[in-house]
Amino acid sequence: MSKLTVAKAITAGLARAMEENPKVMLLGEDIGSLGGVYRVTEGLKARFGAHRVLDTPLGEAGIVGTAVGLAVRGYRPVCEIQFDGFTFPAFNQITTQVAKLRARTEGRLSVPMTIRIPYGGVIGSVEHHSESPEALFAHTAGLRILTPSNAQDAYWMEQQAIACDDPVIIFEPKRRYWLKGEVDEENSPGDPFAAAVIHEGTDATVVAWGPMVPVALAAAKAAEEDGRSVEVIDLRSLSPIDFDTVTASVRRTGRLVIAHEAPTFGGLGGEIAARVTERAFYSLEAPVLRVGAYHLPYPPAAVEDHYIPDLDRVLEALDRSFAY
């Protein structure tokens, strides 16, 4: 057991994957000598060599596209996209090539690659550095999407994604990179595509993922003071989504609030709301409510706290749910 930040847990997870499989290699901008703009890959170039940690030319399509060729060749490439908002030059490669090559070849070619994307806001940065584009990728068949909310998941999900024979995007909650937690290097938390009930409750369920998980936990604690018992689910996998765990919880609690940093409109909260309504209609005591960002481009840092849902907005949604 070690106490690590999320960032250092990712570093350790990547290092272990590289130790265990010589075919694992990292590609990205400034990830080698600099160690990445968030220092997540710090020390890995010195340890594993420049042929396994590539400081690539600046070009996201180039990073992801060459990784497709490397993956088909038998490598396990791990791409780092520097910031969420810079994913889009690679959007074509990810959606038309990475996601579809296996289906196009009727299962003959696999694309076992990992794409790491630091995502989310509240870091006080300039535009294109704070976005949550997970729904755009969840909508595309052929991809898998994980998002850790704590150090233990961060450590293991990197290794599980790399070991997976399918392409996996890991959305890393960049405002939680410095969040410390226990990492058990011996015991894996199991299926990365399963959601986890991280706080049990009986009166309502809050589903969150990545950077919003600590907010959801804080909401559960605050609600407790008002005598409400709120269950919190860390979704962990955004494609596929573990609807069974969510539905089972709602059948017990009768109320559901989904909180994410991405804009509410067209966000994954809508998909979860629809599925739960289909599956647990007679268990619901109130409409499923969503808490997300507004249908606006990510705003300037000075006003971002109005845009990203915080503790109060989650509590307000819970109040509305209880009012039914």
Partner 1 sequence: MESRSHAGAVPSTLTRHQLLDEQGVVAEDPLLSPYAADITVEELQHLYRSMTLARRVDEEGTSLQRQGQLVLWVPLRGQEAAQVGSVWPTHPSDRIYPSYREHAVAFERGVPPAELMRYFRGLSAGGWDPEQYNLNPYTVVLGSQTLHAVGYAMGASLDRKAAEDSGSPLDGDPEAVIAYFGDGASTEGEVHEAMVFAASYDAPVLFFIQNNQWAISVPFATQSRVPLATRAAGYGFEGLRVDGNDILGVVAATRYALEKLRRGEGPVLIEAETYRMGAHTTADDPTKYREREEEDQWGHLDPIERLRVHLRTVHCVDQAFFDTVAAENDAVARQMRADVLAMSPPEFVDRFDGVYAEPHSLVAAERAEYLDYQAGFVAQDDSQDSDSEGVGA
Q: Nearer to partner 1 by C-beta: 62 or 299?
A: 62
- DSSP letter, residue 85: G
Q: Half-sphere exposure of 126 toward its Cβ, with a 13 Å CA cutoff?
A: 1
Among 45, 144, 175, 255, the residue binding partner 1 under the rule CB under 8 A is 144
Q: Which stretch binds partner 1 (CB under 8 A): 38-46, 159-167, 207-215, 262-270?
A: 159-167
State the minimum distance, in angstroms, from the CB of residue 2 to partner 1: 29
Q: Can you tell me whether residue 4 is helix, strand or coil?
A: strand
By CB under 8 A, is residue 66 in contact with partner 1? yes
CB of residue 272 to partner 1, shortest distance in Å: 13
Choices 7-15, 28-36, 55-63, 219-227; region in contact with partner 1 by CB under 8 A:
55-63
The site string for partner 1 over 288-307 (x = CB under 8 A, - otherwise) reads --------------------
Binding residue (CB under 8 A) for partner 1 from 14, 15, 18, 70 = 70
In one-letter notation, the amino acid at residue 100 is K
In this complex, which beta carbon is closest to partner 1, that of residue 7 or of residue 164? 164
**129 a catalytic residue:** yes
DSSP 294-314: -SSPPPPGGGHHHHS--HHHH
Rule CB under 8 A: is residue 146 a binding residue for partner 1?
no
**Residue closer to partner 1 (CB basis): 5 or 97:** 97
Distance CA 255, CA 233 (A): 13
Q: In angstroms, give the least distance from the CB of 243 to partner 1.
A: 8
- Both structure tokens of 37: 């703009």
92 in contact with partner 1 (CB under 8 A) = yes
Q: How far apart are CA 209 and CA 145, in angstroms?
A: 12
Alpha-carbon span 134 to 157, nearest angstrom: 17
Binding mask 182-211 for partner 1 (x = CB under 8 A): -----------x------------------
Interface pick for partner 1 out of 16, 21, 37, 61 (rule CB under 8 A): 61
Q: Where does the chain have alpha helices with state H?
A: 6-20, 44-48, 60-73, 91-92, 101-104, 134-138, 151-163, 213-225, 243-253, 268-280, 304-307, 311-322
CB neighbour list of residue 205: distance below 8 Å, 6 or more residues apart: 230, 231, 232, 233, 246, 249, 250, 252, 253, 255, 256, 257
Catalytic residue positions, numbered: 129
- Sites of contact with partner 1 (CB under 8 A): 22, 25, 51, 54, 56-57, 59, 61-62, 64-75, 77, 89, 92-93, 96-97, 100-110, 112, 141-142, 144, 164-166, 193, 239-244
